[in-house]
Structure 1
Amino acid sequence: MNHKIKSALIITTYNWPKALELVLMSVKNQKIFPTEVIIADDGSKKETKKLIEKFQKDFPIPLKHIWHEDNGFRKSAILNLAISNTNADYIIQLDGDCIIHKNFVGDHLNAIETSTYLFGSRVSIQESFLAALYKNKVVTFSYLSKGIKKRNRNIYLPLLGALLYKKNNELSRKLRGCNLSYWKLDFININGYNEDMTGWGREDSELVIRMINNGVQGKRLKFRSIVYHIWHKESSKEKLNINHTIQENAIKNKSIWCENGVDKYLSEKE
């Protein structure tokens, strides 16, 4: 058990308070809480701020709102800013369109190892179920629940998962930034997210490639640490080629550092 470690659950969001409400409801349902929750807000309007303020009134742990101006898709920058604003030793990352299983936080904390990042599975909520999802404020799903696909990812057998999956130092195609955790120090040692990567795509995998290059291994949390991704239209991929090139350079050059990273926010705090 690693529940004495100070941990922060970082939730990225952008102008989708209806989804964020369900995500925060699922955080309140956790069997084990992180030390704090930080909403990393990529420039949402006032509706999101009002929603967070409503939850802050009776949230079981500190709930912070870190915001920057809307200047296009800048997930890397808002994550760096949010992570620079926590004293937690361990970071658990989640997207604001992913409802979490009641054991999600505990599954990450129970699997912590030194020099290791963890990543879990993502079940898909179908478009046809959205009306019922929002009307009934559904935040728990069993294997047979309506409205989900990739149902086998919703099998919860944590002991089996722990037996099957071991650490390795190869980038997994299953890696998703919406279900990822790591030591804050491992993040700072590679200068966090590369803010040259704007627009959707590759920012999480490029981060992990630099971690791997710096001696951090990955471990998949199969049959545990489950999230339920709310359907939405795909994001614009206009910057994907640029981001892919940055990632390919990180692989080729065995990079462990990015110039445009988290250190600018950390130096402001010194």
Structure 2
Amino acid sequence: MSHDTPPASLIIPTYNRADLLRRNLAQLAGQSLDTDRFEVIVADDGSSDDTEAAVGEFRDRLRLKYHRQEDRGNRVGTARNAGARLATAPLLIFLDTGTFVGRDFVDAHLRAHREVPGRWAIVGYTYGYDPEGVDAGLMRQLDESTPDELVERAGATLRDVRHAHLAAHEFDLSRLLVPYQNFFTLNCSVAAADFAAVGGFDEDFVGWGFEDLELAYRLLRDGVGLRMSRTAWAIESPHPRDPARFDELLRNMDRFFAKHPSPPLEVGWVLLMRYRDDYWTWEDELRQVLEQTAAAQGRDVTGEIAGVLAGLPTGGSLAVLGAGDQVPPGLPAAVLYDLDVNAVARLAAAEPGRHDVRHGIGLRTTLEDGAVDDVIVTSRLDGLWKRWGADLLAEARRIGKRVHVTATAAR
């Protein structure tokens, strides 16, 4: 095989799924794109089956590299990073073991990056993908048909779990406030330089979930856009998932928010951690939060804050949820939250260094339990009260010993 640098490196993390891996490698060996044009890196998260032997069976058909790390639990982000370090191509394509591909898969990812100038990470459509359900008949169909045949015959019925959510926005991720919600590493691609620039996957994420969304969050912050490609498709083979993995998902959502506290992640955190099954309402709920608070952006709540302060003992610590762009003169040093980023900037500039000013709603904060003596929840949060009042109060009670609600909608 050629020793020239290939245009694409495929990275497949795996753990004790040798038979599925063999099918992956066979499909990659049959790509329409010459196999000299891409390399395949199997990143083994400590398998105890014959995974390494499975890789060896394809060394004469693919440009293959194999890396095995010690089995210390699910460390898929660490495995993917190890694979990326071995990659030589300018484009990294991530594919899960058991995510089957058609003949044009690699070429479709390459074309998706050429089609639109700029820095992009591509989210590939994945037929049959649904973490919450197992289609018992899908594996039989995969056994009886090639991926291309199955998609041609039954693709309309094998929808990606993201389909309805994305169809509502014409599959245009740039229209979304939370585009990273749709970035799943079972089928995606990103320029190697962009991946390296943000430091790859955060290896603090262990177990199932959110290491991919967190990567996409940092890519977006670094100026890399997200695009959906329906031609760079794959088919997810069905397999049961351990219900205990949901606890891993919750822990990783907690990590995600702790690393990137922001209003969108506050909404996502509450939906998943408190309501448990509202993941796909995240986008719409965030839009409603922004709409419901828009009317209060010019509201001055200095009088409300001053009124509460007049009845408090001196020397206590304070947090204000919905502080606005100004506070009463002489307000003791406090932690001040507001959703309006412009109000936050004006408030921080008014008395530089005096207050801890943060951009946030107040649904979830990074303050410790009982961090302050008193929490004031102002009328700037009135618009949220019907939907989120209980959550605002729960957070205020978690971080403060005493809670004072001046929001008129709460009365």
- In structure 1, the gaps of 5 or more residues are 154-163, 255-270
- Which SS does the other structure have where 1:197 is aligned? coil
- 8 Å contact from structure 1 (residues 66, 81) kept in 2: yes
Structure 2 partner of 1:178: 186
**1:199-235: CA deviation from partner (whole Å, max 9, x where unpaired):** 001110100001101111111102x111111111114
Mapped partners of 1:86, 1:152: distance in 2: 31
Are 2:122 and 1:118 equivalent residues in the alignment? yes
Mapped partners of 1:150, 1:131: distance in 2: 15
Cα 1:16–1:137 shift into 2, 3 Å: farther
Mapped partners of 1:35, 1:182: distance in 2: 14
Mapped partners of 2:138, 2:119: distance in 1: 40
Structure 2 partner of 1:226: 233
Q: Percent identity?
A: 25
Find the partner of 1:239 among 248, 251, 254: 248
**1:108-144: CA deviation from partner (whole Å, max 9, x where unpaired):** 101114321001111128323435645x584443346
Cα 1:94–1:219 shift into 2, 3 Å: same
Mapped partners of 1:111, 1:177: distance in 2: 16
Structure 1 partner of 2:371: none
**1:69-106: CA deviation from partner (whole Å, max 9, x where unpaired):** 11110001111111011222110110011010111111
Mapped partners of 1:111, 1:165: distance in 2: 14
- 8 Å contact from structure 1 (residues 209, 250) kept in 2: no
Mapped partners of 2:101, 2:95: distance in 1: 9
Mapped partners of 1:167, 1:16: distance in 2: 32
- 8 Å contact from structure 1 (residues 75, 198) kept in 2: yes
Are 2:101 and 1:93 equivalent residues in the alignment? no
**1:126-181: CA deviation from partner (whole Å, max 9, x where unpaired):** 323435645x58444334647x784356xxxxxxxxxx766738525432211110
Are 2:247 and 1:212 equivalent residues in the alignment? no
Larger helix share, 1 or 2 = 2
Structure 2 partner of 1:195: 203
- 8 Å contact from structure 2 (residues 126, 233) kept in 1: yes
Structure 1 partner of 2:276: none
Mapped partners of 2:72, 2:45: distance in 1: 8
Mapped partners of 1:152, 1:80: distance in 2: 29
1:47 shift after superposition = 0.9
- In structure 2, the gaps of 5 or more residues are 130-134, 161-169, 264-411
1:252 shift after superposition = 2.5
Cα 1:117–1:237 shift into 2, 3 Å: same
Question: C-alpha root-mean-square deviation of aligned residues, in Å?
Answer: 2.7
Mapped partners of 1:167, 1:129: distance in 2: 28
Structure 2 partner of 1:78: 79
TM-score of the pair, normalised by structure 1: 0.78
- 8 Å contact from structure 2 (residues 77, 206) kept in 1: yes
- Which SS does the other structure have where 1:237 is aligned? helix
Mapped partners of 2:102, 2:10: distance in 1: 14
1:24 shift after superposition = 1.1
Q: Which amino acid aligns with 1:22?
A: R
Q: Which runs of 4+ in 1 moved over 4 A?
A: 131-134, 136-139, 164-167
Which structure has the greater CA radius of gyration? 2
Residues 8-23 of structure 1: pairs in structure 2 closer than 5 A: 8-23=9-24
Mapped partners of 2:23, 2:13: distance in 1: 14
Are 2:40 and 1:37 equivalent residues in the alignment? yes
How many residues are matched?
Answer: 237
TM-score of the pair, normalised by structure 2: 0.53
Mapped partners of 1:103, 1:166: distance in 2: 22
Structure 2 partner of 1:160: none
Greater relative contact order (Cα 8 A, min sep 6): structure 1 or 2?
A: 1
- Which SS does the other structure have where 1:40 is aligned? strand
Mapped partners of 1:86, 1:173: distance in 2: 26
- Which SS does the other structure have where 1:25 is aligned? helix
Structure 2 partner of 1:262: none
- Which SS does the other structure have where 1:176 is aligned? coil
Mapped partners of 2:140, 2:229: distance in 1: 30
- Which SS does the other structure have where 1:37 is aligned? strand
**1:19-40: CA deviation from partner (whole Å, max 9, x where unpaired):** 1111111111211244211011
